[in-house]
Structure 1
Amino acid sequence: MTDMFENHCWQDIIPPEIIELYRPYRRDLYIGPRPALLAIDLYAIAYRGGPRPMKELAATYPDSCGIHAWDAIEPTKAVFAAARKAGIPLFHTTTDSRPEAKPTRIRATNRPIADHDVDLFEFHPDFAPLEGEVVIAKQRASAFFGTPLSSHLVQLGIDTVIVLGESTSGCVRASTVDGFSHGFHMVMAEECCFDRSDISHKINLFDLHHKYADVMHSDEVVAELSRREAGL
């Protein structure tokens, strides 16, 4: 019989005996009555080089997530569409690249970024914000750190934040943990999160699922949001 709580992408790398150690974390997964969607850093830069393995792209496009980013496009489009049809608030994050707002030494991670890279942080055309959707400019990894995101969510009465984007081990993880710390129920759309490394992606999803978030398959998220749209 399939263990639905552990029926996720990490099963091929997390040994059964380790999964058993986390049995006390098992619980019912859900999306609360007042959800919002948080799209983390869906930059065009993450898709550069096309749907190819990272080992083929790393030297030329070190900021790309290669095939992992491209595999997430269709599921992400489906979640975006379901969220918009259901009328739930959408938030998008982007790096704050304004010279007057971002001191030289402030970066989201310790990875060096060349000065010209700020011109590459445009939204992927499939995930560009629509009118009325809020764009959060951030200087660190977390969408909550030093931004008004939490205030927006509180004013809207949001109880659940559905997270997707990149990278699973970086800005997605930091935002998910901070959202949990701010008191929101955090849900991660599994197939809509991605990373440069598939191993890093899977291990971080495993860890977040057991401690800070409900990792749900994207089709489960779509189905639930579709029920909301239908008033069920």
Structure 2
Amino acid sequence: MNEKTTNDHDLSVGSLTLGSRPALVIIDMSLGFTQPDSPLGGNFSAEVDNIKHLLEQFRARELPILYTTVVYHNEHQASVFRTRLPDLNILQANSKWVQIDPRLMPRTNEPIVEKCWASGFFQTDLLAQLQTKKADSIVVVGLTTSGCVRATAVDGLQHDYPVFVVPQGCGDRNLTAHNASLHDINAKYGVVLSLTELCHALTQLQT
């Protein structure tokens, strides 16, 4: 990893800066995506374990942590998206499928942002939450790499946040799409940083 310290509080990776208060944004680690018996799901146990490790690191440093989950309250929400991908219709409010996987249970100070589309930013309060928590960069992990992770990373950049994506914390049922999306993100929208590199970067933060 190419690092340099720009001041006592900032850590640079490539051309982007992790800053002094990165936020961990965990995308759609709900039962609808983490459970193999869901039509949207798969076996993502390794990704869950890696995100648990990141949670420990962020919690130990009292850094912001936010979750997203896809939830539909009526048939009109994201109707075109749901027509294109009918399996999304299982993600109804009060369904078990919209609940965050218990292995990654949020704490009371870790908000869950409901969304209807791919990006965690689109028609949600994610931006406001990040601003309230004074985040100066975002670390994006979750499901799926080629869908909601990529969309959130792109929108994170479009809201002027340095974006870092940890591949070991991202999963996709299509490995080709997973790898292509990581390549695309790293080429244009953010920095793809391994779990080891990201955890090392966190140790360099001055809090």
TM-score range, shorter chain: 0.7 to 0.9
Name the counterpart of 1:63: 40
So what's the TM-score if we normalise by structure 1? 0.75
Q: Counterparts of 2:32 and 2:199 in 1: how far apart (Å)?
A: 26
Is the alpha carbon distance of 1:74 and 1:206 closer, same or farther for their aligned partners in structure 2, counting shifts above 3 Å? Answer: same
Q: Counterparts of 1:114 and 1:157 in 2: how far apart (Å)?
A: 33
Pairwise CA distance, 1:104: 6.8
Deviations 1:163-210 (A, max 9, x none): 000000000000000010010000001100111111110010001001
Name the counterpart of 1:86: 61
For the 8 Å contact 1:78–1:222, the answer to whether it is kept is no
Q: Counterparts of 1:183 and 1:109 in 2: how far apart (Å)?
A: 32
Q: Counterparts of 2:198 and 2:83 in 1: how far apart (Å)?
A: 30
Larger displacement relative to structure 2 (174-183 or 118-127): 118-127
Matched, 1:110 2:97: no
So what's the TM-score if we normalise by structure 2? 0.83
Is the alpha carbon distance of 1:125 and 1:146 closer, same or farther for their aligned partners in structure 2, counting shifts above 3 Å? Answer: same
For the 8 Å contact 2:167–2:193, the answer to whether it is kept is yes
Aligned ranges for residues 146-165 of structure 1 at < 5 Å? Answer: 146-165=123-142
Name the counterpart of 2:145: 168
Give the unaligned 5+ runs of structure 2: 3-12
Q: Say which structure is richer in strand.
A: 2
Residue identity over aligned pairs, in percent, reads: 28
Q: Counterparts of 2:56 and 2:143 in 1: how far apart (Å)?
A: 19
Q: For the aligned residues, what is the CA RMSD?
A: 2.4
Q: Counterparts of 1:61 and 1:113 in 2: how far apart (Å)?
A: 9
Pairwise CA distance, 1:61: 4.5
Give the unaligned 5+ runs of structure 1: 6-25, 50-59
Name the counterpart of 1:32: 19
Pairwise CA distance, 1:114: 6.5
Pairwise CA distance, 1:103: 3.0
For the 8 Å contact 1:108–1:141, the answer to whether it is kept is no
Considering only CA atoms, is the larger Rg found in Structure 1 or Structure 2? 1
| Residue type of the alignment partner of 2:126 | L
How many residues end up aligned between the 2 structures? 194
SS at match of 1:74: helix
Name the counterpart of 2:196: 219
